[in-house]
Amino acid sequence: MVDTQLTAQRTGVSPAGQRGRILLWLLWILFAGMLATPLYVNSKFFFPFITSKALAFRLLVEAAVVLYILLALRVPDVRPRLTLVHWAVLGYWGVQVLASLLGVNLYRSFWGNAERSEGLLALSHLVAYFFILSFTLRSWRDWRRLMLVSLGVSVLTGIYGLAQLTGQETLFGFIRILGSGRIASTIGNASFFAGYLLLHVLLAAVVFAREANWGWKVAVAGAGLFDLLILFATETRGAVLGLVVGLAVVGAWLVISVPSRKVRLSLSAAALVFVLAAVFVFVNREADWVEANGTLRRLATISAADITTQSRLAAWRASWAAWRERFFLGWGYENYNVAFNKHFPGVIYRDEGSQVWFDRAHNIVFDVGVTSGLVGLAAYASIFAAAFTVLRRWGRQTPRGRILGIVLVGGLTAYVFQNLFVFDTLGTYLLFFALLALVASGGHESAAQENTPAKVYSVGTTGVATAVVAVGMVVAAYFFNLRPALANRAVAEAGVIARSGDLTEAVSAIERSLDLGTYMRFEARQKFAELVQSAQRSPDLPRDTKLTLFQRAEDELKRSVAEEPQDVFHLVYLLTLYNSSDEVDPAALDRLAQVFEGAVQLSPGRAALYYELGQAKMSQRKFDEGIAAFRRAVELAPNVMEAHWNFGAALTVAGRDAEGQVEFQKAAELGLNLNSLRHLKRIVRVYNARRDFANLAKTYEAIVVLEPSAQTYASLAATYMELGEKDKAIAAVNHAVELDGSFGPEAEAFLESLQKIKNTPGQRQGLR
């Protein structure tokens, strides 16, 4: 009990008691720091919105564990006293550990990855955070103080979000605004931000319902209303609908339980007004005032035909197929990606911009069910069952406890409902576990003897315990945080350096990351492969250097495949690397075919795998095999524009123009503009591949009308030269110089070489 144990000890305070008070204050500061981590974004990290928060939170929790152990040795009142909620949380953690031990990739289950920064490591820190909070904070004044900190942080994130919404470059003149599109604040994603705000609206309602001081009531009501308005501005349907469901639960409970007929009628009337308002918006969904508001527009257009809805439903069907395969204990924590890839639903792949690499089901039932099975889902449900049981007891004790219990039940219902469409991140986990700790601690009531000094004493082994615990946590901080942080920053640094054009230094940064041997090595290897693929396109890099880089990247990706043989993502990177490096190592395409066989076994429904195989076969001029691969891709994704375009391109390269045009037309029916720059620039590659200069010239002639750049005219001139049409070549190169004078020296050299050939229009038009 922070307040009890921090009560002034008037006179004769023992040294042990003084140390206990200091430890309590330090713990409280760490708690406040944890709740402030949503504000922390460090752009020097890879996935800065996630990684920086996760590392900071883990370090703070590890420090809190040390302080709590030392405190518990001195203060009996803060020692563990397990309740039903504690056992439920502990049981859920235990099931996740068991599921991971029996799952497909224990390493991934423990560490997670950079993009999410979760895994059992993060879950264990969250459980420790929950336990320490619930054991240390026992009075309402303790909890109110901490809740006010979190509400203050949420308001700051809302102000940051407003700056994004209004297009500001900085906040307060010195804080740089990151992100664009739907407002996401420092959380980095609009949906995650909405979930974070939803729980803060609940937090404000909790303080308002429990607090007797009207000054605090007004303050938290203002914060809650502000968070609610920002939540609405995020245009996140799941969170808004969750809020509606939570309010409905609170209203229904009050209607049933409140004896006052006037109150019941008022609540019923409010519900009716809300329903009528919702119907009015839906009926007017095509009205200008609905279209002008992003949130109303998104809510009013929810339907089974909605692309997002269809993708979610397809992912859920795939999740159910995967869940049935390992029904009781699942695939292991953080291994949803393996299950999803095996049962990949081709329908969600619509075009190049489609999200096809799911590591979450975007549904809490399937997320938990797939990764930890029916047992895990039961353990997760038991947390809420335990919390609701405790909240019912609150209702029997005092009227205030009953109101607070109703608010928390409604709020947790809203939280679960919105998680049917999204998933948790650190921001929502912080609030969820804090609210569970509040329920477990019974901290909604003041301590019975608020002014009674806490029992404080010294333990003889405290010095030894201090040393052992401190050393243990320093070691943990080094391996769990410092090394991954250094590896992460090296990957981020490599990306920045690569964009500046210094390939050598970028590779050096990747190597530093790999040398640290952390879970970041998988991302580091992928970034290394991307660097190498980019390097293969550089005309200035010597062939030997390209070959050396390719071989190193291949070796690194093979290590990833060996370490995580169930993850098709590593194989996809290897396929792409092979296709980009066939000029420096023609045998790479033969190895690609072997890798493809392994990849298609792990994810048989992915059309994109057949694109890689088809491209390799076409490069080897094995046209029949290449066309067969692209035809299979069309069979897997018949409604995908990209599948038909690739098939059409393969047919055209093989000289089967009429069939190719049929596929291009099918792509056009699915949305491709055959006269667009995107299509014309891509078809250039097709005609280049077959050395069809006549059609290449026609294509460039269409391109220069849409994009009259110096480079395009120069390419057109080179094509005319191949055709032997000197006059047209001269005219085109002169256009290039007119548009960009820097082309002058190149133009002179081009014109000199042009004089050496005869003007023979119509020559060299066929396939080579």
In a domain, 263, yes or no: no
**CA separation for the pair 117, 426 (Å, rounded):** 9
pLDDT of residue 699: 94
Side-chain-side CA neighbours of 663 within 13 Å: the count stands at 25
In a domain, 260, yes or no: no
On the question of pLDDT at 14 being above 70, the answer is no
In a domain, 244, yes or no: no
The total domain count for the chain is 4
| Segment 721-761, tens digit of pLDDT | 888 888 898 899 898 888 888 878 888 888 878 777 766 55
On the question of pLDDT at 456 being above 60, the answer is no
Instruction: Provide the percentage of residues in the chain whose pLDDT is more than 70.
Output: 92
Inter-axis angle of helices 190-210 and 237-257, nearest 10: 20
The Cα-based distances of 723 to 445, 588, 710, 747, 757 in angstroms read 89, 33, 20, 18, 10
Give the 3-state secondary structure of 600-624.
HHHCCCCHHHHHHHHHHHHHCCCHH
* Residue where a domain stops, chosen among 586, 618, 637: 586
Three-state DSSP class for residue 142: helix
Looking at the fold, whether 66 and 183 belong to one and the same domain comes out as yes
Looking at the fold, whether 135 and 21 belong to one and the same domain comes out as yes
CB 154 within 8 A of CB 197: yes
On the question of pLDDT at 625 being above 80, the answer is yes
Looking at the fold, whether 227 and 344 belong to one and the same domain comes out as yes
* Choice among 173-177, 325-329, 420-424 with the minimum mean pLDDT: 173-177
Residue 635: which domain range? 606-666
Looking at the fold, whether 394 and 531 belong to one and the same domain comes out as no
| Segment 243-277, tens digit of pLDDT | 999 999 998 888 887 777 777 787 778 778 877 88
On the question of pLDDT at 768 being above 80, the answer is no
DSSP string, 518-545: STTHHHHHHHHHHHHHHHHT-TTS-HHH
Looking at the fold, whether 365 and 223 belong to one and the same domain comes out as yes
On the question of pLDDT at 767 being above 60, the answer is no
In a domain, 249, yes or no: no
**CA separation for the pair 608, 646 (Å, rounded):** 10
In a domain, 696, yes or no: yes
Give the 3-state secondary structure of 345-410.
CHHHCCCCCCCCCCCCCCCHHHHHHHHHHHHHHHHHHHHHHHHHHHHHHHHHHCHHHHHHHHHHHH
Secondary element (H or E) of residue 250: helix 237-257
pLDDT of residue 765: 42
**CA separation for the pair 155, 360 (Å, rounded):** 29
Looking at the fold, whether 634 and 745 belong to one and the same domain comes out as no
pLDDT of residue 350: 64
**CA separation for the pair 615, 96 (Å, rounded):** 42
Three-state DSSP class for residue 473: helix
* Residue where a domain stops, chosen among 586, 614, 641: 586
Q: What is the mean pLDDT of residues 73-99?
A: 94
Q: What is the DSSP letter of 171?
A: E
Looking at the fold, whether 338 and 205 belong to one and the same domain comes out as yes
**CA separation for the pair 301, 281 (Å, rounded):** 10
Q: Return the higher-pLDDT residue of 40 and 302.
A: 40
In a domain, 455, yes or no: yes
Q: What's 643's domain CATH number?
A: 1.25.40.10
On the question of pLDDT at 2 being above 50, the answer is no
Residue with tokens 């235990």: 94
Write down the mean pLDDT value for the chain.
89
Q: What is the mean pLDDT of residues 205-231?
A: 94
| Segment 303-328, tens digit of pLDDT | 766 777 788 888 999 999 999 999 99
> What tokens appear for 644 in the block?
């038909």
Looking at the fold, whether 487 and 567 belong to one and the same domain comes out as yes
| Segment 662-705, tens digit of pLDDT | 999 999 998 889 899 988 999 999 999 888 999 999 999 999 99
| Segment 601-620, tens digit of pLDDT | 999 999 999 999 999 999 99
pTM confidence score: 0.90
In a domain, 159, yes or no: yes
Instruction: Provide the percentage of residues in the chain whose pLDDT is more than 90.
Output: 67
The Cα-based distances of 190 to 182, 235, 456 in angstroms read 6, 8, 47
Q: Return the higher-pLDDT residue of 233 and 451.
A: 233
Beta bridge partners of 176: 170
* Residue where a domain stops, chosen among 666, 686, 708: 666
On the question of pLDDT at 8 being above 70, the answer is no
Q: CA angle, corner 426, sides to 424 and 429, nearest 5?
A: 65
Looking at the fold, whether 684 and 573 belong to one and the same domain comes out as no
Looking at the fold, whether 198 and 325 belong to one and the same domain comes out as yes
* Choice among 19-28, 76-85, 302-311, 366-375 with the minimum mean pLDDT: 302-311
**CA separation for the pair 516, 660 (Å, rounded):** 50
**CA separation for the pair 624, 617 (Å, rounded):** 8
Looking at the fold, whether 646 and 685 belong to one and the same domain comes out as no
Q: What is the mean pLDDT of residues 84-98?
A: 98
Looking at the fold, whether 530 and 571 belong to one and the same domain comes out as yes
**CA separation for the pair 216, 209 (Å, rounded):** 11
On the question of pLDDT at 353 being above 70, the answer is no
Q: Return the higher-pLDDT residue of 649 and 297.
A: 649
Inter-axis angle of helices 119-136 and 84-101, nearest 10: 170
In a domain, 251, yes or no: no
Side-chain-side CA neighbours of 86 within 13 Å: the count stands at 14
Q: Return the higher-pLDDT residue of 746 and 120.
A: 120
DSSP string, 26-95: HHHHHHHHHHHGGG---TTSSSHHHHHHHHHHHHHHHHHHHHHHHHHHH-GGGS----HHHHHHHHHHHH
> What tokens appear for 758 in the block?
């005869």
